[in-house]
């Protein structure tokens, strides 16, 4: 859930800063879609239809109360990969979609599936930069290593300019040695920058999706909301 919370919260924070933002839900679980107030079962079209070329992306883009526009997901995305596997240039389908609509936005954020399949490779091929949310609850970074290996493959084959911004620590509890060791270990092991401030562990993040909003709306003055605002401000600074 950390990745979805991060996309929703950074997207909302960028919108607060006056930026035009598009968020793309590329996960068949449709958590981002739900978190921003849409019921995926009520949608006529979704990213599944966009990626298969059945409908223009602009007809699927949906404004949200949070500020960003959304390209929503449904469970149909689970079958999208099978369709794309037989398509020539399948890695570039999402890039083509973003080229069509991206000019309308200052930032496009993509919430990927946890699996490293065709959809995630599409996201990495379309992206300029990668931010890796990482829960600070375990010293096992196998998922980070696997993602970095995939990033290297995408750089070599599809997107040589892809850049990893760094790791954003989430579910962070500064009172524990485990959290501090986790950050030190990921910096040393992978040579990745740690994006600060870390996102503190809070029940507010679990409460926000049920309201169809991000924590910036449901708990605007919380430490977590303020931390995401600072991360968004840093992204704006890096983009300028």
Gap between the Cα atoms of 51 and 85, Å rounded: 12
Q: Is 23 helix (H, G, I), strand (E, B) or coil?
A: strand
Q: Are 98 and 47 in contact (CB under 8 A)?
A: no
State the pTM of this model.
0.93
Gap between the Cα atoms of 119 and 239, Å rounded: 25
For the domain bounded by 2-233, which CATH number is listed? Answer: 3.40.50.300
Per-residue pLDDT of the chain (240 residues; tens, 9 = 90+): 588 999 999 999 999 999 999 999 999 999 999 999 999 999 999 999 999 999 999 999 999 999 999 999 999 999 999 999 888 899 999 999 999 999 999 999 999 988 888 999 999 999 999 999 988 766 556 678 888 999 999 999 999 999 999 999 888 777 778 778 877 888 888 888 989 888 887 777 766 677 777 888 887 888 888 999 999 999 999 887
């Amino acid at each position: 859930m950390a990745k979805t919370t991060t996309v929703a919260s950074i997207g909302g924070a960028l919108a607060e800063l006056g930026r035009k933002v598009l968020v793309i839900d590329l996960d068949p679980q449709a958590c981002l879609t739900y978190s921003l107030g849409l019921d995926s079962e009520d949608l006529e079209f979704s990213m599944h239809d966009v990626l298969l070329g059945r409908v223009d992306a602009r007809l699927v883009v949906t404004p949200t109360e949070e500020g960003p526009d959304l390209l929503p997901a449904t469970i149909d995305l689970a079958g999208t990969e099978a369709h794309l596997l037989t398509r020539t240039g399948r890695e570039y389908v999402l890039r083509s979609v973003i080229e069509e609509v991206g000019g309308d936005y200052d930032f496009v954020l993509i919430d990927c599936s946890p699996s490293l399949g065709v959809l995630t490779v599409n996201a990495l091929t379309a992206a300029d930069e990668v931010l890796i949310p990482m829960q600070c609850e375990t010293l096992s970074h196998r998922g980070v290593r696997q993602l970095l290996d995939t990033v290297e493959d995408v750089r070599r084959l599809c997107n040589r300019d892809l850049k990893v911004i760094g790791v954003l620590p989430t579910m962070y509890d500064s009172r524990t040695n485990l959290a501090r060791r986790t950050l030190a270990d990921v910096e040393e092991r992978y040579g990745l920058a740690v994006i600060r401030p870390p996102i503190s562990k809070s029940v507010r993040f679990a409460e926000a999706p049920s309201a169809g909003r991000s924590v910036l709306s449901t708990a605007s003055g919380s430490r977590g909301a303020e931390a995401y605002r600072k991360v968004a401000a840093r992204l704006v600074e890096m983009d300028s």
